[in-house]
Structures are given as C-alpha cells and as structure tokens.
Amino acid sequence: MTTLQLPDVELAGQPAAYWTGVAYESIIAFTRARQAELGMTQPQFWLLRNLSKNDLLPDGGGRTVPELRQAMTSYLRAEDDLNVEADALVDRGWLIRDENGRLRITEAGENARTRLSQHAPAIRALIHKDIDDKEYITALKVLRQLILNTGGSA
C-alpha cells in the first residue's frame, strides 16, 4: 500500500515537512523540465523577468549579477549559477552587459520572456490537473497556518 492509499487517520499523522519538501522538489523539477523543453532554464527566465521593464524592473535600468541574486534570493536554488546563466543569455543576444557589469534585456530577450510567459498557464494547468480551486485554496490555507504555527510569516 502506498502512502497515498493510507486511511485518512494515518495520513493525518504524516509529517508535513516531508510532504512539503517532496511537493516542492517535484513541482520545481516538473516546471524546470517544461521550461527546458521550451528552450530556457528557469533561472534564465527569472533573469529576463528581473530585467524587463514590462515585468519586475519597471525602470528598466539594468542590474548587476549580485543585485539580481539579491532580488531573487527567496527563490534561487543552491545549484543556480546566475553568472553562467547570464553569460548564456548574453551569448544568445537576449541580454547585454555594459562596462560596469550591469545587465539589460534586449528586444530579443523581451520577446523570449514574453514567449515563455505565454506557456505559464499551460504549465500551471498540468500541475493543478484534477485539483479544483476550492481544494487548492484549502491546501494553501493549511500551509499558511503551518507556517504561522512554526513561527514563520505568510
């Protein structure tokens, strides 16, 4: 019998940290695989988003890699190397780097960001398959309460 086939009373005793960790790793791996199929890594997409005046950088003034790392601190993974990812985007012509090391998105980079953004609803739909919005909202409320119960902020 798999864990998901356990009776509710036994499921209720399962450790939340284990299941949230498994869910996180699975969802990240799935999302990154879908984005790779579309020709971009997740960190590359984040770089484009964080440099786009039409997304997360309204002034469009550019940022250095350390500034980008700071802006993405809450969602970067240990294995994400922004220097390597930025260099790959410069090589593709999607970013340019000035003499001060500030990165700026190019028109081609903005087009790539927009293209990948258009796939986000389909990726989300695959992740949320067979889960109605009420169930999802309940799950998030439970997670938020677990966070609050353990001293975090949500």
Domain boundaries, the chain: 21-118, 120-149
> Can you tell me the distance from the alpha carbon of 84 to that of 32, in angstroms, rounded to the nearest whole number?
17
Multiple choice CATH, 21-118, 3.10.180.10, 1.10.10.10, 3.40.50.300, 3.40.190.10? 1.10.10.10
Tens place of pLDDT per residue across the chain (154 aa): 466 688 999 999 999 999 999 999 999 999 999 999 999 999 999 999 999 999 999 998 999 999 999 999 999 999 999 999 999 999 999 999 999 999 999 999 999 999 999 999 999 999 999 999 999 999 999 999 999 999 999 8
Give how far Cα 83 sits from Cα of 39, 40, 43, 103, Å. Answer: 18, 15, 10, 11
pLDDT in tens, 16-60: 999 999 999 999 999 999 999 999 999 999 999 999 999 999 998
pTM above 0.85, yes or no: yes
Q: Which ranges constitute the DSSP H helices of 7-132? A: 8-11, 16-37, 42-51, 65-71, 82-92, 107-117, 120-127
> Can you tell me the distance from the alpha carbon of 43 to that of 58, in angstroms, rounded to the nearest whole number?
19
Q: What angle (nearest 5°) sits at the alpha carbon of residue 52, between those of residues 27 and 82? A: 55
